[in-house]
Structure 1
Amino acid sequence: MEIRELVSKDIDIVVDLWYETSIIAHDFIPGDYWKNNKGAMAFEYLPNSETYLAIENGEIVGFVAMIENFLAAIFVDNQFQGQGIGKSLLNFVKHKRTRIKLNVYEKNRKSIDFYKSQGFIIKAISEEEKTCENEFLMEWTR
């Protein structure tokens, strides 16, 4: 697996990966929420973040997006989950930081367990305004 920086020609593929993965990982949120945010992801979030892609056999299979020390997104294509890609992407950005924070929905137990296994600690809980879902603020420090 190769990890490389996002370039503009990758954005449509990455947005589709984010959308397809979000619908499954966040099945407690209506699908229209994710559909309505595809434009913001393509034109606002990805271009304004430090984003790295996981490439397997020439195909984008995952990505991680950082905004300063905040992990804004980490997604692995549903067909490639459980193969260590998310861990590799996370370790890649951990080598570039001494502290990383992130928000994760309380109902997304699979991701919470993953982050805990990677050394993240729950620091706070709050309600996410747009979805009215509880989310944890988690933090990792070297």
Structure 2
Amino acid sequence: MIEIKERNSKLIQDLVNIWESSVKTTHLFLSDDEIYAIKQYVPQALKEIPILIVAENEHEHLTGFMGIANTMLEMLFNSNENRGQGIGKQLLQYGIESYSVNELTVNEQNPLAKGFYEHLGFKTYKRTELDEQGNPYPLLYMKRN
């Protein structure tokens, strides 16, 4: 796990590629047009997130990342080819241990992510019918005790 301070354009593009790979696999409720529209905001979010942690494989290729603000997990994505290898769990556990992550939001229509977070001790305390952009994608707000 590496905390990134300097966020150059190549790093941002590499992380956007991981984001897109992950979202196309896990967010099946989104159309290609919606993914494209959201993708336009990802570089700025990556530049602005206070804490950005990346995971690399043994060849120093990026495999996943997470963003944290205060004690809130704001983003956690693994490239599709690296899913199921424990990278997300390692990232989240690192966030919990090093940054006291204890809260997150997840799309209800992403049941694998919801189950993953529940497995790591997060429980839903609130649900909204719409996402933060007002789209009809219910969000689950989860906390870890």
TM-score, scaled to structure 2: 0.88
Structure 2 residues without counterparts, runs of 5 or longer: none
Does residue 133 (structure 1) correspond to residue 128 (structure 2)? The answer is no
Does residue 33 (structure 1) correspond to residue 31 (structure 2)? The answer is no
**8 Å CA contact 2:107, 2:140 repeated in 1:** yes
The residue that corresponds to 1:4 in the other structure is 2
Which whole-Å CA distance do the structure 1 matches of 2:100 and 2:92 have between them? Answer: 13
**8 Å CA contact 1:21, 1:78 repeated in 2:** yes
**Number of residue equivalences:** 138
**8 Å CA contact 1:62, 1:76 repeated in 2:** yes
Residue identity (%): 25
Cα deviation, 1:45-87, whole Å, max 9, x if unaligned, reads: 1111111000001100000111112111101111111111000
Structure 1 residues without counterparts, runs of 5 or longer: none
Matched position secondary structure for 2:52? strand
- CA distance 1:53–1:110, shift in 2 (3 Å): same
Which whole-Å CA distance do the structure 2 matches of 1:32 and 1:53 have between them? Answer: 27
Matched position secondary structure for 1:95? helix
Matched position secondary structure for 2:48? coil
- CA distance 1:121–1:4, shift in 2 (3 Å): same
Alpha-carbon deviation of 1:37? 2.3
The residue that corresponds to 2:48 in the other structure is 48
Alpha-carbon deviation of 1:99? 4.7
TM-score, scaled to structure 1: 0.90
Cα deviation, 1:105-129, whole Å, max 9, x if unaligned, reads: 1111101110011000111110215
The residue that corresponds to 1:13 in the other structure is 14
Alpha-carbon deviation of 1:96? 2.4
Which whole-Å CA distance do the structure 1 matches of 2:93 and 2:123 have between them? Answer: 16
Which whole-Å CA distance do the structure 2 matches of 1:46 and 1:68 have between them? Answer: 15
Summarize the alignment of residues 93-112 of structure 1 with structure 2, pairs less than 5 Å apart. 93-112=95-114
